Amino acid sequence: MKKIVFLLLVFIYQLSYSQQSKNFESRISYNQIAKSKTDGAGCLAAGYYFPEELFTPSCQGRNEQIHTAVMYGSYSNVNVTAGVEYTFIIYSENTTTKTSYITISDEEGTTVYASGYDTIKWTATKDEVVRYYVHADDQCGTNNDLVKKYIRCGDIPAEPAYGCNQDYQGPFWAACSVSGDTGYLTADDFFVPKDSEAFKLKSLKFLLLPLAENDDFEKFSIEVRKDNNNSPGDVIASYENLVPTEVTRHSEDFVIYPTFWASLTIPDSGLEIPVNKDENTRYWLTLQVWSKTGQNIFITNFQRIQGWATNPTFQSLDNKESWITTTWEEDPGLEGNWSFISDCSKLGVDDIETESISLYPNPVHHTLNVSSKKQIKEISILSLTGQTLLSSIQPKSHQMDVSALASGIYLVNIKLENGILQTFKIIKK
């Protein structure tokens, strides 16, 4: 599966970690440890200690990566706490080594506490530093393959509540660019709950990281999209040139950069989205932000939990031409730090009429009429594959001549002056 290039911040290698971007081999500390195997289970043979830093897990219930490129025949030092259960996990994408052998020992590397293949659990009996070894097999095998080394402890975080108001928040794990200046944007899914009387999206809030280190938000563009096989699908509404109604500094920085909550209000009192009474319905919301100073802007992300109903964050690096996600076999992917407020009560007649757009006749033979109480900016006719066949910019009349189209089913995009985009299906006779 494709991997995304922005884990742990696209720009980190240029900035705070620039002094650490040397060759893998140059950072290895060879300790000249004797290659020996214990009489019991476990391998205490190691050629080097890597990475050099002592790792202290935060124990927030998520897989914490000690390093993404560790060689077999190495160990890491890990701080552990008495009474805490730890899960040690090794992942390898190499074809030559199918499994990895883990050994946990005391700090001196003389006593084996636990061992096993790929994933093992062990509970610390005292506060201490332990060694976390990885080998190719239980015979202390080594080779040049690289593996990813993780550790997990603590209670698994509660899954977000997919109700009328939804809040997706977790500890910083990575950041994805949403810079409109570079054509980057992200998409996160949400649910319209089946038990709602109605659903009207009212306001949004995003936790952002501007490289300018201040309130550097010129304008926002968001889209609400249908779901397409658990990925972003067709646009049902879009809003451009939005400005935040409120920006507040978040209490936590990401690496050395301040983060900000930016709040947006959906125009025209909100967007009504249909409710499916049989099941919660997945939709997607995209985010793109332009900077006042032309610098990059990121949305902060946390690591989601395997098995959650919400899908991982998707990102487009080519301005919506294609979408990629962060997941691979062992990684549950990312979730953006964001939230929204909606109105799930039954809408009044006046509210429904205000948002209504109707097309007639349908089926249509020659002329398609569009009725709307809001000014129409553009009408487009598309094929079912998304190809634009007819388009009228700022039509003087709310009509389209469709007589040239072959018989069949088509999509009609109606874009209003306020930026709302709604999609309909018509039948051409």
pLDDT tens-place string over residues 60-98? 888 888 887 888 999 999 999 999 999 999 987 665 667
* Structure tokens given for 130: 């332990």
Give CA separation, 190 vs 174, 181, 225, 266, 300, in Å.
20, 26, 10, 16, 17
Q: pLDDT digit string (tens) for 353-370?
A: 445 688 889 889 889 988
List CB contacts of 49: < 8 A, sequence separation 6 or more: 28, 29, 31, 74, 75, 76, 77
d(C-alpha 343, C-alpha 328), whole Å: 36
Question: Can you give the pLDDT at residue 130?
Answer: 97
Burial of 274 (0-12, 13-18, 19+ CB in 10 A): exposed
What is the DSSP code (8-state) at residue 354? Answer: H
The number of CA neighbours under 13 Å toward the Cβ of 89 is: 14
CATH topology of domain 358-428: Immunoglobulin-like (2.60.40)
Question: Can you give the pLDDT at residue 25?
Answer: 26
H or E element in which residue 151 lies: strand 146-152
pTM of the model as a whole: 0.67
Helix (H, G, I), strand (E, B) or coil at 14: helix
Domain ranges, ordered by start, for the chain? 35-153, 165-343, 358-428
Q: Which residues of the chain have pLDDT under 70?
A: 1-40, 93-97, 328-330, 346-356, 385-386, 418-419
Question: Can you give the pLDDT at residue 329?
Answer: 59
Three-class SS of 119-148: EEEEECCCCEEEEEEEECCCCCCCCCCEEE
Task: Please say whether the structural domain 35-153 has been given the CATH code 2.40.128.
Answer: no
